[in-house]
Every structure is written in C-alpha cells, then in structure tokens.
C-alpha cells in the first residue's frame, strides 16, 4: 500500500483534564459502522492535515482546536480500502464536545479502551496511548546481587516499562541477566525491553527491544514484529526520521539538559526538543538530565513523557 492510493484521514486524540480520551460511535451504515472511533475525517483536495483536523473536529464536535501536535501515522489495509491515519493529539481546545451529527460521544479512560471495539486501524492508536509517561533505564550493575537490588527498586516505583541496559557484558551474560530480570518483571506485570545489538542471538526469541542510535541507522527494517515494542535512541532529525520510517513505537530524544556526559552547549534544551518532536509522528520521550518530576514539562513541549537512569535510580 502506498500513501498515494490510501485515503488520507486526519484523526484527533482529544484528552480532558483527567486524561480521559474522547471517542465517538460510527453510524451503522458507514464503513466499519457500529464501532467506536477517534474523531476526524478525510482531507479535502489541497488541504493540509492540521487544517483538516481543525475543520473536522469543529464540524463533528463543535470544538475549536487551539493546540495540537502530530502523534503517529498509521497505514492500514482493509479488504475494501486502504487508509493512512494521520493522528494528532489535541492538547488544548475551546468548547464542549457534542455529537453534532447525532453520533454518541463519550469520555473513556485510556486503559478501558479495547481494540475489538474499534476499527482495526485504531488498534495502533490505542497501543500508543497505553504507553506510560515514565520509562526507566537500568544503571550498570556490578553483579547479580546488585542487579536484583536495582530491579526491585525500579519495580517498587510502579514503572510499566523498564529498559535493560547493561553495556560491556558479553552476549551470554547479558542474556542470562536479561532473562532473570525479565522473569521478575513479568511476575510484577511489567515489560522489560532489551537494549542490546539486535544482531545478537538474544533476539532469536522475540523480545521488546531498543536500538542505539548507531544501530538504528544501520537497520533496514523493523527488527521485531508488531506484537513486540521497538524503540530507539535519537539525537537529531535524521535519526528521528529513520526511526519513524522503521515504524518505531516510540523514541528517546536526548540530551535535553546537561549531564555528566554532556555540557550545556551540547544539549538540545526544551525548545529544540519541542521543535524536533513536532516534526515526527510518534511518541517522543525526553532523556538526559531530566528529573522524575518533569513529566509535565515534557508533555508541555510535545513529548510523551520522560526516560532516564538517575531519574529513577539516583
């Protein structure tokens, strides 16, 4: 499926003050009728996505979009048509959403959303919305005892996703430590993502995985299937574009602030972070000198949340 032959649709993810999202019910006679959807509609000839989104949300819901940014692009092929969903997150709007075309609308908790209640193409939106606002990266462990201590401390912070980063280990040792940590995380209902070269035999079995920026630029395709999470480290627009082309589920963009490894002159700063995050359609996490209490700062600058080592294990 190419973008040119797909029906281009602007989709709005609208959140309220309690972080619920707005969904509406499709008419029974419509394509994928009787299912819930995120509001939006087709682009008109010569119309850009943002203009189409603002127009559709006003026509459908009677709201005026004040602030929004791209969240994700989704290509999906149905038996009778192909669609390109251009999904944007609406962070500020004016008015009270109402079904102006007679369609029922509801505010739903993100974690109550079920893919089976939505058109198939919407499953990727739900998956993206389910990503947490905080992702921890493991600090270097001196030994297995130290690793267990680190894992327990992170699990006690209710972090849904932990990235397993242990540089300098040979592949057999990394695999052994990873599997031990993964078992603890699975028991606690948390995901553990491998940060190891995808070419290693660690990933003969499918695992959620994270690519370094160097590895990212050498990849020719997404290294794992759609059932596993794939993320990457990025530092500039070129790397962000590559991650987007590989359909990464999310990325880390760094360094936002100064750290032991980066001086102030080498950092992006929040404004550059915002400018870069707005240029790609995928969740972007702020990394580098970002504290655990700066989630709201990241969200205010178009990020999905924060990631870090010292933020969660100082």
Binding site residue list for Mg(2+) = 40, 60
CA–CA distance, 208 with 283 (Å, rounded to integer): 16
77: β partners: 82
105-108 β-sheet, strand order: 36-37, 21-25, 105-108
**Binding site as annotated, residues for 8-oxo-dGTP:** 26, 31, 37-40, 122
Q: Per the annotation, where are the binding residues?
A: 26, 31, 37-40, 60, 122
Please state the φ and ψ torsions of residue 204, each to the nearest 5 degrees.
-60, -40
Count H helices, E strands: the chain?
A: 8, 15
- Buried residues in 58-92 as b, exposed as e (16+ CB within 10 A): eebbebebeebbbbbbbebeeeeeebbbbbbbbbe
Of 74, 73, 67, 112, nearest in space to 90 by CA:
67
> What is the phi-psi region of residue 124: left when phi exceeds 0, alpha when psi lies from -120 to 50, beta otherwise?
alpha
Least Cα distance to 231 among 202, 208, 205 occurs for 208
């Amino acid at each position: 499926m190419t973008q040119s032959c797909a029906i281009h649709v602007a989709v709005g993810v609208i959140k309220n003050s309690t972080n619920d999202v707005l969904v509406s019910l499709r008419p029974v006679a419509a394509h994928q009728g009787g299912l819930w959807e995120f509001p939006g509609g087709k682009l008109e000839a010569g119309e850009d996505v943002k203009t189409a989104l603002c127009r559709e949300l006003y026509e459908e819901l009677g709201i005026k979009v004040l602030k929004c940014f791209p969240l994700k692009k989704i290509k999906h092929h149905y038996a009778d048509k192909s669609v390109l969903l251009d999904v944007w997150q609406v962070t500020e709007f004016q008015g009270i959403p109402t079904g102006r075309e007679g369609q029922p609308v509801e505010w739903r908790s993100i974690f109550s959303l079920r893919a089976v209640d939505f058109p198939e193409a919407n499953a990727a939106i739900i998956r993206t919305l389910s990503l947490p606002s905080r992702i921890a990266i493991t600090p270097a462990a001196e030994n297995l005892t130290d690793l267990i201590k680190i894992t327990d401390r992170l699990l006690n912070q209710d972090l849904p996703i932990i990235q397993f980063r242990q540089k300098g280990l040979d592949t057999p040792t990394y695999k052994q430590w990873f599997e031990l940590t993964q078992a603890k995380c699975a028991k606690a209902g948390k995901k553990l993502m491998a940060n190891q070269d995808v070419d290693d035999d660690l990933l003969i079995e499918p695992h959620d995985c994270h690519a370094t920026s160097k590895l990212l630029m050498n990849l020719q395709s997404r290294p794992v299937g759609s059932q596993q999470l794939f993320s990457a480290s990025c530092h500039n627009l070129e790397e962000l574009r590559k991650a987007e082309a590989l359909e990464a589920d999310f990325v880390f963009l760094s360094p936002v602030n100064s750290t032991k490894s980066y001086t102030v002159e080498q950092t992006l700063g929040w404004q550059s972070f915002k400018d870069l995050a707005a240029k790609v359609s995928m969740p972007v996490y702020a990394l580098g000198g970002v504290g655990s209490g700066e989630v709201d700062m990241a969200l205010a600058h178009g990020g999905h949340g924060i990631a870090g080592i010292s933020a969660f294990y100082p």
